[in-house]
Amino acid sequence: MSSTSQPKDTTETESLPPHLDPQTYPRTLTTAHGPNQSPIHLELTYTPLSPTTALSTISSPSNGANVLFLGTTRDTFEDRPVAQLSYTSYPALALKSLNRIATDAVGEFGLGAVYIAHRLGVVPVGEASIIVAVGAGHRGETWRGAEKVLEVVKERVEIWKREEFVDGGMEWRENRERDSSGRKKGEAT
């Protein structure tokens, strides 16, 4: 008696590499840094981001100022209607880079806490793709610290963005291509 094998459903048997498989997320790193052991929480996730979680993570009796930044998907890019964004990352390297950025900010600005979360996969219009939240004793260091963290994240972290347009077109972009006002770096103001 000979045995015959049935063709396998490749969608069921082929698996995604772990860094692309949403089932292996969230990926988090929580550490403490500096003389006051300021908590740092970093996260890469495929699920919607929570501003409430970010604020509760950085809040403490010694942080009199807390700043929260949400970067959300806009409905247009250069007058072209956007359907959604899609993000991908190499998580081990991205978390290492995020940790360096956060620890540097704690040291430079005396921050009492840092929270950075970035969404991966599809991020629909109106939903947050990044949260940066920082806490410190006073507003000056929190404003400057949060802005610095965000700008360095966009310049250095191993996260790539694909803009998907309503007309079906798609374009990969690096966050480092644009300044904080959305202008292509090197363009006149």
Distance CA 99, CA 76 (A): 32
Predicted pLDDT of residue 176? 67
Once rounded to an integer, what is the mean pLDDT over residues 22-32? 93
Binding-site sequence positions for substrate? 138-139, 154, 161-163
Element (H, E) at 38: strand 38-45
* Average pLDDT of every residue of the chain: 89
What pLDDT is attached to residue 13? 41
Biggest CA-to-CA distance, the chain: 80
- pLDDT per residue as tens digits for the range 45-61: 999 999 999 999 999 99
Q: Looking at this protein, which amino acid is placed at residue 47?
A: T
Is residue 31 very low, low, confident or very high in pLDDT (cuts 50, 70, 90)? very high
pLDDT beyond 50 at 173: yes
Q: Which of the two residues, 76 and 13, has the higher pLDDT score?
A: 76
Contacts of residue 110, Cβ cutoff 8 Å, sequence gap at least 6: 34, 136, 137, 141
- The single-letter code of the amino acid at 39 is P
For range 65-93, the mean pLDDT = 95
Report pLDDT digits (tens) over 83-135: 999 999 999 999 999 999 999 999 999 999 999 999 999 999 999 999 999 99
Half-sphere exposure of 46 (CA within 13 A, CB side): 11
The percentage of residues in the chain with a pLDDT greater than 70, rounded to a whole number, is 85
| CATH code, residues 25-116+133-173 | 3.90.1170.40
- pLDDT in the model for residue 175: 67
Question: Interior CA angle at 162 toward 160 and 166, to 5°?
Answer: 165
Beta strands 38-45 and 27-33 are antiparallel
Q: Give the residue from 42, 50, 182 showing the smallest Cα distance to 113.
A: 42
Q: Is the distance from CB of 18 to CB of 24 less than 8 angstroms?
A: yes
Residue 6: pLDDT over 90 = no
The letter for the amino acid at 54 is A
* Known binding-site positions: 138-139, 154, 161-163
For residues 21-37, give the mean pLDDT.
Answer: 92
Rounded-to-10 torsion of CA 143, 176, 47, 167? 130
Find out whether 113 and 39 touch, Cβ atoms under 8 Å.
Answer: yes
